[in-house]
Chain A
Amino acid sequence: MTQLFHQLGHRYKWNIESFSTENTGNGLIIAPRYMSYDYVNSMNRQLKRNSIFDPQFYLPNSDRGYLQTYPFFPNVLAEGFSTAEWNVELAKQSAEDCLAFQNDCDFQYIVIPTRYHSTPSDFIELQTNLFVEPFLNVYSSKRYDKPCLLQLILTDNMLKDEQNRNDLLNWITGLENIAGVYLIYYLSPRHKQIDDIDFLISVMLFIRALKVAKMTIVLGYLNTESIPLLVCDPDIVTMGSYENLRMFSLRSFQEAESEQRGPNARIYVSKLLQWIDHQYIGIISKKVEDPKGFFDDTEYRVAMFQPTYNWHFSKSEPYKHYFVSFAREFERLLSCNASNRFSTIQDECRKAIQYYEYFDKNGIIFEQDSSGRHISYWLTALNQYKKILESE
C-alpha cells in the first residue's frame, strides 16, 4: 500500500508538527541542507524510524545551509569537492560514514546518494564509479540489515527515450543488493504541474517495470501528480510545503534561501487538483453552492478565509491546509481497491475539468499556474497507460 511522506526542507518544523499532531502522512524525508547533523542526531528516535534520510549529494560541491555540518558530505570530506579529485578512497570514506550515520539513526531505509548529472550519455558509468559501487560495497561488507535504496535523479530524456529507459532499468534491476530506488525527476524548464503526456506515461512505465521486478519505489519532490502516479502503486510518494519541495530544483543547493524570489501565495484545492492563486478564492466562493465544502474544510481554511488574513507565500497556513487536505484525499484514494482506484482517479480528473469549465462559463479566467490545463494531460496519460497495460 502506497505511503505518503513529508519532503522536508525550509520550515521543516511545519511538516513535523503536522505529521506528529495531525497524523498527516506516514513518515518524513530528512533534508540535511536544512537540518544540521546534530539536530538530526538528536531527533526523536521513533520519528527517525518512520523516516528516510536523503543525503542530498546532488551538487557535491555545494556549501549551502547545514550540508557543511555533515562530515561525510563530499565538499566537507574532500575539503572542496571536484570530480577530478573524487577518488575511490574518498568515496569509500564517505560511504562508510554516511551509511553508518543512517544505520545508527535507525532510519527506515539506507539511501545510496546520487549527484546530479546533466549528460545522460555516460550517466550509468559515472553513477556506478562515483557512488553506487563504493556505497554498495560498504553496504554489503557491513551487512546492514536495513533495505537499501538507490537514489537517482533522472531527466525527461532519460525517461522518455525508450533505449535510455531500458538501459536504466536493466542497470537498476541488475544491482543485486538494492531493495529499490528513491527516484527524483528533474525537468528544466517545467511548469508548476506536470503537463507532458509522454513524460507521465514514461514515469508510469518506469515505475511499473520496477514494481514487476519487486522493487521498492520512493518518489521524491512530487507535486500533486502523485495522484495519477498512484495507479502504478509506488511504495512512497511525497508532499512538500514550498514549491522547491514539490518540484525538484538545484537552486536551493546553489543559493541561500533569502536570495530566492517568493512566488504568489496559493491554496491547494483538492477538487481542482491544483494550487490556485489566493486572489480567486473570493470569486469562486460566490460561484459554488458550498464554499466550505469546495475548499477543503480544515482549521487552516477557517483562518485563511478571515477577511483580515494577510496572504503571503511564506505563511504556514496554506501549507498546513495542504498537508491535511492532501492526506485526506490520499487516504480516500487508497481506500479503493486497485481497479477502482484507477477509475476513481480518472473520475476525479473529469470532475476537476468540469469545475474548470463551469468557472470558465462564469467568467473566471485562471492565470496559467492556477488553470486546470494539466488535468487533461493527466487524464490522457492515464487512459494511454491503461491501454498499454491492456495490450500486454
Chain B
Amino acid sequence: MTIPVKVDDVICKFENPTLLSDKGGQKIVYTIQHPEFGRCVLKIGHYGSMTTLERIKREVSILSSLKSDYFPTNFDFQVLDQSRFFIIEELINGHTLDKVFRQFSSEQESCKLLNELLSAVSQLWAQKVIHRDLKPENIIIANGGPRILDLGIARVLDETSLTCSLAPFGPCTPNYASPEQLQNRKKSIDHRTDQFSLGIILGQLLLDGTHPFCPSLLGNGSSIPENINANIWAKDILKTKLSEPVFYILQRMLGHEPYQRFRKVDEIRDKLNIIILGES
C-alpha cells in the first residue's frame, strides 16, 4: 500500500501553494510563490530506493548543467527525512502538446516543431544523455517555443545503467517507446531511441493527433506497444497523405532497428530545413 508523501512541513515554507498534480501520493507537484525565483514549481516525492534517489539526482544534475531555454531551469534540490526529496524548478506556462496537436497539422508546421524539438534534444544528446521518455505530455508548447520536461528516466550513456530491473521492458512510456526499449535491449539504446519517439510524435501531428501505431487506425486488435514491436504502423495511409520528403523523414525516424534511423541529427535537420523553406 502506498503511503502518501508528507508535504505539510515543506509547503508551509512557501507562499500560495497550489496543487498541480498528485501522482498517487508518491510525487506531488505544486506551484508556489518563491521569494527569490517568483512563481515556480515545487515537486515533493518519495524515493523508494537509492537507485531512485540517484536517478532524481541525475535529472537535477542534467538540468542544472544544460542551461538551455528548451528545458526548465532547476533552482533547488534537497533530500529530506523519511526518504523524501523536493525540487524547485521554473514554472513553464503553456499547453502540453497533446492538447494542441491541431496547431501543427500541416506538413510545414509539423516539420518546424520537429526541428525545434530536435534542437532541444540534441543538446541532451551532445552530452550523451538520452531522454527516453519523449511524449506529447512531456512537451509544453509555450510562447517561446516547445519546452521539454521530465528527464526522470534519462540515461547517461557513459555511466553504468541504473536500471537493473527484471521488468519485461526498460523504463519508458510504452506507447512512445522504441522497439529496443520495449524489448529491453539496453545495449541498443542511444540517441536514435529518442528519434523513434519523436517519429511517433511527428506521425501523430500529421494524423491530427491519432497515434500512428494506433490499433483502431490499423484495424487490428493489438495494443500500441504490440504494433510498435511488430513494426506495424500507418505506413500506407501516411504514404498516400504526405509529400515524399516528409514521408521519407517519418519512415526513417520510425525505422524498427536503430541503424535504419538517421545516424546524425544534422541529416534530419537538413531535410527538414528544405521542407520548411519550401524548397522541396
Q: Point out residues on A near B: beta carbons under 8 Å.
A: 124, 166-167, 169-174, 176, 209, 212-215
Q: Which residue of A lies closest to B192 (CB)?
A: A174
In the complex, B51 has a CB within 8 A of chain A: no
Tell me the bound Cα distance from A263 to B259 in angstroms.
42
* A166 contacts across to B, CB distance below 8 A: 257, 259
* B267 contacts across to A, CB distance below 8 A: 214
Tell me the bound Cα distance from A133 to B260 in angstroms.
23
Within B179-218, the residues touching A (CB, 8 Å) are: 180, 187-188, 190, 192
Tell me the bound Cα distance from A278 to B258 in angstroms.
49
In the complex, B263 has a CB within 8 A of chain A: yes
Tell me the bound Cα distance from A170 to B259 in angstroms.
5
Apart from A170-B188, A176-B264, A209-B260, what are 4 other A-B pairs with CB-CB below 8 Å? Answer: A124-B187, A169-B257, A171-B187, A213-B259
* B187 contacts across to A, CB distance below 8 A: 124, 167, 171
Instruction: Specify which of B180, B187, B192, B264 lies most central, judged by the most chain A CB atoms within 10 Å of its CB.
Output: B187
Shortest CB distance B179–A (Å)? 10
* B180 contacts across to A, CB distance below 8 A: 170
A to B contact number (C-beta, < 8 Å):
31
Q: Which residue of A lies closest to B258 (CB)?
A: A170
With beta carbons under 8 angstroms apart, the residue of B188, B190, B263 that contacts A213 is: B263
Shortest CB distance A305–B (Å)? 50
Within B34-73, the residues touching A (CB, 8 Å) are: none
Q: Point out residues on B near A: beta carbons under 8 Å.
A: 180, 187-188, 190, 192, 257-260, 263-264, 267
Tell me the bound Cα distance from A42 to B258 in angstroms.
44
Asked whether B263 lies within 8 Å of A173 as measured between CB atoms, the reply is yes
Nearest first, the 8 closest Cβ-Cβ pairs linking A and B are A169-B259, A173-B259, A213-B263, A170-B258, A170-B188, A174-B190, A170-B259, A166-B257
Q: Which residue of B lies closest to A176 (CB)?
A: B264
Tell me the bound Cα distance from A172 to B263 in angstroms.
10
Tell me the bound Cα distance from A166 to B258 in angstroms.
9
Tell me the bound Cα distance from A217 to B180 in angstroms.
26
Interface of A, secondary structure class, is: helix
Shortest CB distance A150–B (Å)? 14
Asked whether A173 lies within 8 Å of B188 as measured between CB atoms, the reply is no
Shortest CB distance A348–B (Å)? 31
Question: Could you name 24 residue pairs across A and B whose Cβ atoms are closer than 8 Å?
Answer: A124-B187, A166-B257, A166-B259, A167-B187, A167-B188, A169-B257, A169-B259, A170-B180, A170-B257, A170-B259, A171-B187, A172-B259, A173-B258, A173-B263, A174-B190, A174-B192, A174-B259, A176-B264, A209-B260, A212-B260, A213-B263, A214-B264, A214-B267, A215-B263
Tell me the bound Cα distance from A171 to B267 in angstroms.
19
Tell me the bound Cα distance from A167 to B180 in angstroms.
11
Asked whether A174 lies within 8 Å of B260 as measured between CB atoms, the reply is no
* B192 contacts across to A, CB distance below 8 A: 174
Asked whether A209 lies within 8 Å of B259 as measured between CB atoms, the reply is yes
* A173 contacts across to B, CB distance below 8 A: 258-259, 263
Q: Which residue of B lies closest to A209 (CB)?
A: B259
Tell me the bound Cα distance from A45 to B267 in angstroms.
35
Instruction: Specify which of A170, A176, A215 lies most central, judged by the most chain B CB atoms within 10 Å of its CB.
Output: A170
Instruction: Specify which of B192, B260, B264 lies most central, judged by the most chain A CB atoms within 10 Å of its CB.
Output: B260
Q: Which residue of A lies closest to B257 (CB)?
A: A166
* A170 contacts across to B, CB distance below 8 A: 180, 188, 257-259
Tell me the bound Cα distance from A14 to B259 in angstroms.
40
* A169 contacts across to B, CB distance below 8 A: 257, 259
Tell me the bound Cα distance from A167 to B260 in angstroms.
12
Tell me the bound Cα distance from A169 to B258 in angstroms.
8
Asked whether B263 lies within 8 Å of A214 as measured between CB atoms, the reply is yes
Q: Which residue of A lies closest to B263 (CB)?
A: A213
